[in-house]
Structure 1
Amino acid sequence: MVTNLAQEGRQLARKVLFYQSLIAMTLACMFFLYLDKYSGISALYGGLVCVIPGVVFAFLAFRYAGASQNKLVVRSFNKGSKLKFIFTIVLFVMVYKWPNLQPIPLIVSYVVTLMVQWPIIIFISRVDR
């Protein structure tokens, strides 16, 4: 049961991150095709700045499950949240040092990739019933 709960959380996180990656790639392709290559690369970076910290959070957040490991679950979620925030800041700082950065595609891609996680979770929850 304990392993089953953690496994379900990992599977949900894997699906959400997969769909977020698809959205980020689609946005990068759209910016590339409709504007220019620097806009496409900037949009790709925006998606990566969202997805990479999400991977770190998912890895840490779903290591433990169950009432017997309650303190470990809370501690790993807190650690995952903090590291996700730190990774996001570090990645934004790294991306903003790129000389050909286009800020609008970067921010649009980041925000869209971040915001689609909730509709994705709702969609996956309804499909898996």
Structure 2
Amino acid sequence: MAKPAPGGIQRPPIERWFAIESVVLVLVSLAFLLRGQVSGYSALLGGLIFLLPHGYFALKAFRYTGARSAKKIISSFYQGESGKLILCAILFTVVFKWIQPLDVAALFLTFAIMLVANWFTPFLVNSTQRR
């Protein structure tokens, strides 16, 4: 369970979110591996292109808490989001430039699956905490 911040607001359980999303990535990659080795590693790369920048965002965005840090919180969210977008662009560029052969469909589909999983992960974590 997340520890309450000094202002009484809890930080989101980022570690649990990443654990769940990592499990989703492994399962999706294994499913694509059934189509072939290229599909498997392409899916893994697509998931990592989502997960690594998302981790950067989480580290930047959630390092401050409390009402007194409101300006720092807003600034760190903007820095985290712009860094996440830049990292995504760099990672896609690196993969398209240096990884051959590549199953582009597996790469993008896994990226999209990770995005949807990210939308539902907070609901899943919150429902397990209430039990």
Please confirm whether the aligned pair reaches a TM-score higher than 0.5, indicating the same fold: yes
Question: Does the CA-based 8 Å contact 1:25-1:44 persist in structure 2?
Answer: yes
Structure 2 equivalent of residue 111 of structure 1? 112
**Which has the larger helix fraction?**
1
Once the two structures are TM-superposed, the CA of residue 23 in structure 1 deviates from its matched residue by 0.8
What is the identity, as a one-letter code, of the residue corresponding to 2:65?
A
Once the two structures are TM-superposed, the CA of residue 87 in structure 1 deviates from its matched residue by 0.5
CA 1:111–1:2 in structure 2 vs 1: closer, same or farther (change >3 Å)? Answer: same
What is the identity, as a one-letter code, of the residue corresponding to 2:21?
Q
Q: Which runs of 5+ in 1 are unaligned?
A: none
TM-score, normalised relative to structure 1 = 0.90
What is the identity, as a one-letter code, of the residue corresponding to 2:81?
S
Q: Structure 2 matches for 1:32-111, cutoff 5 A? A: 32-33=33-34, 35-97=35-97, 98-111=99-112
What is the identity, as a one-letter code, of the residue corresponding to 1:128?
Q
Once the two structures are TM-superposed, the CA of residue 2 in structure 1 deviates from its matched residue by 2.7
Percent identity of equivalent pairs:
28
Q: Deviations over 1:50-99 (max 9, x none)?
A: 10001100100111011011100100011000000110111111111211
CA 1:3–1:43 in structure 2 vs 1: closer, same or farther (change >3 Å)? Answer: farther
Question: Does the CA-based 8 Å contact 2:7-2:67 persist in structure 1?
Answer: no
1:64 counterpart SS class: coil
Rounded Cα–Cα distance in structure 2 between residues aligned with 1:26 and 1:84: 24
Give the ranges of 4+ consecutive aligned residues of structure 1 lying more than 3 Å apart after TM superposition: 3-6
Aligned length: 125
Q: Which runs of 5+ in 2 are unaligned?
A: none
